Structure 1
Amino acid sequence: MKFIYLDNASTSHPKAPGVATAIANFIEQGSYNPDRGQYSGANDTALAILDLRRRLARRFGASSPRQVIFTQNVTMSINLLLKGLFTAGDHIITTSMEHNSVMRPLNEIRAQGIRFQVVGAEKDGSILPDKIEASIDANTKAIVVTAASNVCGTVMPLREIGKIARARDLYYIIDSAQLAGVLPLKLSELEADAICFTGHKSLLGPQGTGGLILSDRLHHCRPLISGGTGSFSHSEELPGALPDRFEAGTQNLPGLIGLAAAEKWLTKQETKILKHELNLATRFISAISEIDQVRLIGRDADYCQVDNPGRIAVISLDFPDRDNADIAAALYDKYRIMTRCGLHCAPRAHKTLGTYPQGTVRFSFGWSNTVSEVEYTVSAIKDLSQR
């Protein structure tokens, strides 16, 4: 029986065409470090990484490729900023829809005298910008917000929040884990100071890749780690230039080469992919709404509008009369459907949505899923829910 993968919010599968080949070719034909040697292979790698920076700078609206900083993942990017920008007495505003990649470092830096306030979301996972503005006090330094919920797929009002941040001269940090590669995210248009991204979700690259796009206002951020950069080797002091300041040590070069291949392919496909994924989400949500034993969490299919999506194809279901873990296990064991069950590293989000502690079964569609897979999954859910 064929497997159906519906866990793209965790990581995309399959990756973009050409990713595996690009990684294999790099490893087999010359996996040379950039900026570490005066030979053609090292120069070729350096040029390939520079080209990827340029492409990502265009994607995220950065004025220079130097503003593109590579990390291992979006979690590392968020940690870099939260642990490098703030000092005792500072106040940070975030929301109840955040992933633990935001909440855990916030709780960690609280021991340093840094306060944070969580603005409660609505029952559909949406954030009211007025609530964020009302939470600002004299010591507020930043607003940190997810671009879209990894639990229920709700898209946040990023532009409106950005206007508040700019009007109050606050740093604005966006966790784009679920939205980068789905919808356009431009640093200047959103009036953001940093967009943290991961390469392995909707950017369709390999795991172990990610980064952040920094505005000029955040160049003073303290790096998370320090060490050799292949540049400024005459000095034992931390380089001030970007991206060197934040990229100590050898990068995940095979991963970045794979991400470059994904970016090249995705740039030509993303509008088509968005329409396709929202069509699948619309079909799935509409069909599920007819099953009495299943509860949709978050926004309905009316928000799957291609021109202004209020949700993405990340969909959580609750089975009130059943154990959600049993449903997820049965979907895989009997129907070979891969989902994710639980709290999705976002306990506050589940409390907001009324699904704590039982969690939900999450279905997240990707570029390679089909209408027939949606229909098969709906049929399986009907079968299981009526037993």
Structure 2
Amino acid sequence: MLYFDHAATSSPKPKGVIDAVTNALEALSANPGRSGHKLSLQAAEVVFETRKMAAELLGAPSPKHIWFYPNATYALNQAILGFPIRQGGEIVTTVFEHNSVLRPLHHLQTEKDIQVTYASGKTGSETARAVVDSISTSTDLIVINHASNVTGELIPLKDIAEKAKAVHAILLVDASQTAGIIDINLERDGIDMVACPGHKGLQGPQGTGLLAVSKDLGLIPLIHGGTGNQSELTHQPETWPERYEAGTVNTPGIAGLGAGLKALDELGGVAAIYQHEQIITSAFLSGIRELETVKVVGSVDSDTRVAVVAFQLTGVNSQEAGIILDQHYQMAVRSGLHCAPKLHEWFETSDEGLLRVSFGPYTTLEEVNQLVQAIKELVDAFKSN
């Protein structure tokens, strides 16, 4: 099977990740932060080291500013639903957002009567300008999908961060498609919160994710429960990260995430990964550009996107094309609406959906060439019918 679905989760996982998860299950089956015995302390050390590496990668002030969750969806919910927005407050976001953002925002709208503005544009740069224009002194929170999980479009953050700071709004970035691929630094980039999965660009196992915060924003914990310390309290403790991590953390998953973060260095670092994926994406875009019945949605400039490309095949249902690539060519792709309904409404692709391919650090040019050839054969087959 040739794997072209890295926007969903990375595959294969580095061997170090598999080994770290296995070791945690075999040798560290103790509860970190819940006991003072050696096994518990060793498990806690693995969790702390992963927290430390994530803080360094994302430019967080310290390891305690990294909070672990089962995935980016949980992290985004903590950031959005836990944000102390005022009644009738305003949130600015984009049509590029995933349902992990859209649905919590809808919930807030029904519960708190807040206003949500959806900025739009055909490209990331257009969308960024629309976001800046939408931000006002009434804006409390800005939620930005750093790169679309459908079109791969990158949304430049510089002007958005500057406008957010000027009006004292909080900037939350969904880095589900960029963490581990694009250099992100909370302090340097003027970002208040970054949510990301551990199982995509960070190369960790599924069931891992995190929220990185630059400072105390007064977030209300979504989950209340045991934290291993201050057990006499009737409420969540104020100390970080315990306040936002009730219950037992996923020690095997976090150990695997730590190994995934180490694997980024083994791959040459974030900059090298991004350069490799640009080369791969450019080769794919060049290969399908000559096909008249293939229409790429979004920019065809590999410099303004990550390695995610969505396209239409004229006269071919995206679901049918995905099934053919899977069953006939043994190629894993993604078709449909990709949990991003407003984007599909904006691009008028809701009825047929789109075919999406996405590449990772282990994708080769040979594999991309095989994918291009398969799409050519698919186009020719439907032409002849």
TM value normalised by structure 1 = 0.94
Q: What residue number does 2:117 align with? A: 118
Cα distance in 1 for partners of 2:257, 2:126 equals: 31
Distance 2:114 2:92 in 1: 9
Match of 2:377 among 372, 379, 383: 383
Cα distance between partner residues in 2 of 1:155 and 1:176? 10
Match of 1:234 among 221, 232, 235: 232
Aligned to 1:5: 3
Q: CA deviation at 1:226?
A: 0.6
Query: Is residue 2:331 matched to residue 1:324?
Result: no
Q: Distance in 2 between matches of 1:204 and 1:127?
A: 31
Structure 2 partner of 1:156: 155
- How many angstroms apart in 2 are the aligned matches of 1:342 and 1:30? 41
| Letter paired with 2:324 | A
| Alignment partners' CA distance in 2, 1:84 and 1:107 | 14
The alpha-carbon deviation at position 129 of structure 1 amounts to 3.6
The Cα shift of 1:16 comes to 2.2
Shift of 1:126: 4.2
Q: Is the 8 A contact 2:82 2:222 kept in 1?
A: yes
**Corresponding residue number in structure 2 for 1:299:** 299
What amino acid is aligned across from residue 352 of structure 2 in structure 1? Q
Structure 1 match to 2:94: 95
1:370: Cα distance to partner?
Answer: 1.2
> SS of the counterpart of 1:315?
strand
Cα distance 1:187–1:125, how it changes in 2: closer, same or farther (>3 A)?
closer
- Preserved CA contact (<8 Å) 1:36 1:42: yes
Distance of 2:310 and 2:125 partners within structure 1: 15
2:75 alignment partner in structure 1: 77
> Alpha-carbon deviation of 1:137?
4.2
Aligned-pair distance for 1:138? 4.6
Structure 1 unaligned blocks of 5 or more: none
Q: 1:288 corresponds to which residue?
A: 288
Cα distance in 1 for residues equivalent to 2:292 and 2:220: 52
Matched, 1:275 2:269: no
Which residue number in structure 2 is paired with residue 46 of structure 1? 44
Partner of 1:105: 104
Taking the TM superposition and a 5 Å limit, the aligned residue runs for 1:188-337 are 188-218=187-217, 220-269=218-267, 270=269, 271-300=271-300, 303-304=301-302, 309-337=303-331
Q: Distance in 2 between matches of 1:163 and 1:138?
A: 13
Offset of 1:337 from its aligned partner?
A: 0.7
Question: What CA distance in whole angstroms lies between the structure 1 residues aligned with 2:99 and 2:126?
Answer: 18
Q: Is the 8 A contact 2:88 2:115 kept in 1?
A: no
Partners of 1:331 and 1:380 within 8 A in 2: yes
Q: What is the aligned partner in structure 2 of residue 142 from structure 1? A: 141
Query: Letter of the aligned partner of 2:180 in structure 1?
Result: G
**One-letter identity of the residue aligned with 1:364:** S
In structure 2, the gaps of 5 or more residues are none
Pairwise CA distance, 1:383: 0.6
Deviation string 1:217-271 (CA, Å, 9 cap, x unpaired) is: 41x1100111100011222221011111100000111100000011111134233
- Preserved contact between residue 76 and residue 101 of structure 2 (Cα < 8 Å): yes
SS of equivalent to 1:317: strand
| Contact 1:93–1:119, Cα closer than 8 Å, also in 2 | yes
CA distance in 2: counterparts of 1:114 and 1:189, whole angstroms: 34
Q: Secondary structure at the match of 1:335?
A: coil
- Pair 1:90–1:83, CA change in 2 (3 A): same
Q: Retained in 2: the 8 A contact 1:87–1:112?
A: no
Output the CA distance in 1 between the equivalents of 2:89 and 2:76: 17
The percentage of aligned residue pairs carrying the same residue is 36
Say which SS state the counterpart of residue 142 (structure 1) adopts. Answer: strand
Local SS of the residue matching 2:15? coil
Looking at structure 1, the residues matched to 124 and 348 of structure 2 have their Cα atoms a distance apart, in angstroms, of 10
Quote the offset at 1:134 in angstroms: 2.9
Distance apart, 1:116 and its partner CA: 3.4
Deviation of residue 293 (structure 1)?
1.2
Aligned partners of 1:56 and 1:114: how far apart in 2?
Answer: 35
Q: CA deviation at 1:317?
A: 1.2
Partners of 1:217 and 1:92 in 2: CA distance: 19
Distance 1:126 1:361 in 2: 23
Cα offsets for 1:128-150 (capped at 9, x unmatched): 44422332345320111101000
Residue aligned with 2:188, SS? coil
Q: CA RMSD in A?
A: 1.4
The alpha carbon displacement at 1:354 in A equals: 3.0
3-state secondary structure, aligned to 1:188: helix
SS at match of 2:186: coil
Match of 1:131 in 2: 130
- Alpha-carbon shift at residue 363 of structure 1 (Å): 0.4
For 1:366, which of 346, 360, 368 is the aligned residue?
Answer: 360
Q: CA deviation at 1:5?
A: 0.6
CA distance in 2, matches of 1:279, 1:132: 30
TM-aligned CA deviation for residue 125 of structure 1:
4.8
Deviation at 1:120?
A: 3.4
| Letter aligned with residue 53 of structure 1 | R
Identify which range, 352-361 or 197-206, moves more after superposition.
352-361
Q: In structure 2, the residue corresponding to 1:173 is in which secondary structure?
A: strand
